[in-house]
């Protein structure tokens, strides 16, 4: 898994993730980055997962934990561009009803990056 981040507003971060969101050092690095962004006051994160080919329970856990943490801080997360296989997993686990899902990163950023 790889990820790149860029600022999309004063408190908005766009995190583009690619590869496999599975347990391992890359996912731990993403978790640490989320903590850093929160410390810097970036309380809204759009996860562009359009290039994610597989997500296991650890990847799902990062999304859910981030959602809870950022909501408590007055922000939130939006998940954009889930491929059919990943979207199916989100639906099967009931996570699709908890997370704010968008078709694209642009749609997810709308209203947040103004």
The domain locations on the chain are: 2-109
Rounded mean pLDDT of 76-99? 94
CATH of 2-109, picked from 3.40.50.620, 3.30.750.24, 3.10.580.10, 3.40.50.300, is: 3.30.750.24
Q: Where are the beta strands (DSSP E) in the chain?
A: 2-9, 12-21, 44-55, 76-80, 100-102
Which structure tokens are listed for 31? Answer: 């978790």
Q: How far, in Å, CA of 64 to CA of 111, rounded?
A: 22
* Mean pLDDT score, 50-71: 95
Question: pLDDT tens, 8-47?
Answer: 888 999 999 999 999 999 999 999 999 999 999 999 999 9
CA 26 to chain centre: 14
């Amino acid at each position: 898994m790889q990820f790149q981040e860029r600022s999309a507003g004063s408190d908005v971060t766009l995190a583009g993730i690619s590869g496999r969101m599975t347990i391992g050092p890359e996912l731990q690095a993403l978790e640490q980055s989320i903590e850093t962004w929160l410390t810097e006051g970036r309380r809204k994160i759009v996860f562009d997962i359009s290039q994610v080919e597989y997500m296991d329970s650890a990847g799902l856990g990062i999304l859910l934990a981030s959602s809870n943490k950022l909501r408590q801080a007055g922000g939130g997360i939006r998940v954009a561009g889930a491929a059919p296989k990943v979207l199916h997993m989100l639906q099967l686990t009931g996570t699709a009803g908890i997370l704010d899902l968008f078709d694209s990163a642009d749609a997810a950023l709308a209203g947040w990056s103004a």
